[in-house]
Amino acid sequence: MLFITNKYLKPGMILAKDIILYNSSNFNSLLLTKGQVLNRTFINRIHYHSIEGAYIESEVFADIEVDSYINDTLKAKSLKTVKDVYYELKMSWGKVNSASIRQISGIVDSLITEILYKDNLSYNIIDFKNYDDYTYQHCLNVATLAISTGIAMGLGEGMLHDLGMAGLLHDIGKMMIPIEILNKPGKLTDEEFDIIKEHPVNAVNLLKDLVPYSVLSGIQSHHEKLDGTGYPYGIAGSNIHFYGRVLAVCDVYDALTSDRSYRMTSFPSEVIEYIMGCADKHFDYEILKSFLQVIVAYPIGTFVKLSDKRFAVVVKNNSENIMRPIVRIINSDGTVGKDVDLLYDKKYMNITITDMAYDYDGSGLEGALKSTYEMKLKL
Ligand SMILES: [Fe+2]
């Protein structure tokens, strides 16, 4: 299968995966089913819901399989639980009862089980961007990334559980911030930003009798930076709780790759470069190394542009270096070439990925898509 961005979806293409919508009113609604042949109406529906693209069947790329990182049912249940608990907290002015926290704890157990038994940890960003409601999806993404990073670091289940709890609950303090400030388009004033900065402390006040101290410490410090320039207390280095240092990386990665206003410019690869540039300044380098084993810069089944101007499709990722995956070259005449390992194939060491053709608007991609798809029809 291939991942095609909504801009390049064409009538006649066949969906290789269900498209499921997650939004605040319905957490698991099937928009379109696997095997469906796309027509104009369906493509318009995909555009209407701002879904970035779809996995499309392609015989030339039939061997490329993309599994969901978290199964759809668990994803929907997690989002609903997080939303219910956050909402309950808002309505009760901070009185979250322990039953709600037990529900969150149950979700964390399920997430850990789901992620622990995966063959390989590679968080597919496309899997996590089909939601309408940013707050809850962000909490689920951060928890998923934090648990995955913890597994890569070899943490035991107790610590994974604490990290997952801290991930799901880390922004609960934002529920106490006026919605006009939280959703304000454009730049915040200094006073408004000071109010935003209160959210880690708000969370601790709300949760102090409900979750362990280590979880509270992680939540409280998720905006602290290694060099002491973070908030709320400006603490530095190992004075920042370990969970807080893990959450900080996951939080920034998800925020930057999700930011709708920057979506078209912040590809995962660019965000990874930015985060790596902040190693030892904002982020703990040891944690970052494990985090980088978990995420992928170039999701499987997506188009990339190579430094020799050719297009290619990502076939497999190398966890040793996420910037250099195995790709299937598309020749300049539109035929599909061989698979090249950009990390280990010595002949191709000089070739780098220069662009995610994910949303590339050059005619080259159009041509490559046309030829690969036409090839499929010919077969
Ligand atoms: Fe936050």
What is the 238 CA–ligand 1 centroid distance (Å)? 20
- What is d(CA 186, CA 184) in angstroms, rounded to the nearest whole number? 6
**Residues 152 and 283 grouped into a single domain:** yes
**Residues 76 and 189 grouped into a single domain:** yes
| Whether pLDDT at 265 is above 50 | no
Please state, for a pLDDT cut of 70, what percent of the chain lies above it. Answer: 85
DSSP characters for 95-127? ---HHHHHHHHHHHHHHHHHHHT-SS--B-GGG
* H/E stretch holding 53: strand 53-56
pLDDT at 230: 96
What is the 274 CA–ligand 1 centroid distance (Å)? 19
pLDDT at 203: 92
**Residues 140 and 221 grouped into a single domain:** yes
> Is position 64 within any domain?
no
Name the least confident of 95-109, 150-164, 220-234: 95-109
- What is d(CA 100, CA 103) in angstroms, rounded to the nearest whole number? 5
Residues 38, 12: contact at Cβ < 8 Å? yes
Q: What is the DSSP letter of 227?
A: T
User: Where among 294, 313, 346 does a domain terminate?
Assistant: 294
Q: Which two tokens stand for residue 244?
A: 């807080």
The predicted model scores a pTM of: 0.86
Strand 29-32 vs strand 2-5: parallel, antiparallel, or unpaired? unpaired
> Is position 290 within any domain?
yes
What is the 369 CA–ligand 1 centroid distance (Å)? 40
User: Where among 294, 309, 338 does a domain terminate?
Assistant: 294
What is the 192 CA–ligand 1 centroid distance (Å)? 15
What is the 254 CA–ligand 1 centroid distance (Å)? 11
Per-range mean pLDDT, top range of 52-61, 121-130, 247-256: 247-256
Question: Residue 15's beta-bridge partner residues?
Answer: 56
What is the 171 CA–ligand 1 centroid distance (Å)? 5
pLDDT at 124: 64
**Residues 118 and 204 grouped into a single domain:** yes
What is the 200 CA–ligand 1 centroid distance (Å)? 7
What is the 170 CA–ligand 1 centroid distance (Å)? 6
Over range 108-135, report the average pLDDT: 74
Could you tell me the CA-to-CA distances from 32 to 15, 18, 21, 28, 161 in Å, in that order?
8, 6, 9, 12, 34
What is the 97 CA–ligand 1 centroid distance (Å)? 22
Q: Name the more confident of 6 and 166.
A: 166
pLDDT at 255: 85
Over range 341-359, report the average pLDDT: 82
What is the 303 CA–ligand 1 centroid distance (Å)? 33
Over range 104-118, report the average pLDDT: 93
**Residues 290 and 169 grouped into a single domain:** yes
**Which amino acid, residue 8?**
Y
Range of the domain at 25: 1-57
pLDDT at 336: 81
**Residues 132 and 147 grouped into a single domain:** yes
> Is position 66 within any domain?
no
Name the least confident of 71-75, 157-161, 211-215, 373-377: 373-377
What is the 283 CA–ligand 1 centroid distance (Å)? 15
Per-residue pLDDT of 197-254, as tens digits, reads: 999 999 999 898 889 999 999 999 999 999 999 999 999 999 999 999 999 999 999 8
Per-range mean pLDDT, top range of 8-17, 47-56, 145-154: 145-154
**Residues 53 and 85 grouped into a single domain:** no
Per-residue pLDDT of 286-342, as tens digits, reads: 999 999 988 888 888 888 888 888 888 999 988 888 889 999 988 777 778 889 999
CA 118 to the chain's CA centroid: 17
What is the 227 CA–ligand 1 centroid distance (Å)? 18
| Whether pLDDT at 358 is above 70 | no
262: pLDDT confidence band, cut at 50, 70 and 90? Answer: very low
Residues 228, 108: contact at Cβ < 8 Å? no
What is the 167 CA–ligand 1 centroid distance (Å)? 10
> Is position 65 within any domain?
no
**Residues 146 and 234 grouped into a single domain:** yes
pLDDT at 23: 64
Q: What is the mean pLDDT of the chain?
A: 84
Per-residue pLDDT of 170-213, as tens digits, reads: 999 988 888 888 878 888 899 999 999 999 999 999 898 889 99
**Residues 109 and 226 grouped into a single domain:** yes
Q: Which two tokens stand for residue 145?
A: 């990334």
- Domain harbouring 233, CATH code: 1.10.3210.10
Q: How many domains does the chain have?
A: 3
What is the 55 CA–ligand 1 centroid distance (Å)? 32
Per-range mean pLDDT, top range of 69-83, 116-130, 255-269: 69-83
pLDDT at 185: 80
**Residues 197 and 94 grouped into a single domain:** yes
Name the least confident of 32-36, 58-62, 213-217: 58-62
What is the 252 CA–ligand 1 centroid distance (Å)? 9
27: pLDDT confidence band, cut at 50, 70 and 90? Answer: low
- What is d(CA 369, CA 157) in angstroms, rounded to the nearest whole number? 44
- Domain harbouring 11, CATH code: 3.90.105.10
**Residues 306 and 247 grouped into a single domain:** no
What is the 203 CA–ligand 1 centroid distance (Å)? 10
Q: Which of 6, 42, 7, 10 is nearest to 374 (CA)?
A: 10
What is the 219 CA–ligand 1 centroid distance (Å)? 8
User: Where among 255, 274, 294 does a domain terminate?
Assistant: 294
**Residues 30 and 162 grouped into a single domain:** no
What is the 264 CA–ligand 1 centroid distance (Å)? 23
137: pLDDT confidence band, cut at 50, 70 and 90? Answer: confident
What is the 190 CA–ligand 1 centroid distance (Å)? 17
